[in-house]
Structure 1
Amino acid sequence: MESRVKVIQGTIDDLLLPGSKFDAASCILVLHFVDDDQEKLKLLGTIRDK
């Protein structure tokens, strides 16, 4: 599995590479750790705009 997984510590802005795709499971996991509702909205907006 290690050949298929890459761990990146940071924010969604650190992941915005051409052709990047995110699935719902990743999104739900990340949202679970974001305490501030405005930050959650910002994150979702960033994903929507890409």
Structure 2
Amino acid sequence: MCRILDISQSEFFARPGRPACRRQQRDMVHLAHIRTVFALSNGTCGSPRIITT
């Protein structure tokens, strides 16, 4: 079934509604910061500028 869905076994058996792990939480915070910087730059900052901001 995992091959058909192209997902890992851990994804297949993951509990719905399970809280995100620390890495996922950290990634979500980083993504929020990146989106904020991108929005504040009116979409003109690319990844090199955003990473160093």
Which bin holds the TM-score, normalised by the shorter protein? 0.3 to 0.5
User: Which one has the largest radius of gyration?
Assistant: 2
Q: Which has the higher contact order (CA 8 A, sep 6+)?
A: 1
What TM-score, normalized to structure 2? 0.32
What TM-score, normalized to structure 1? 0.33
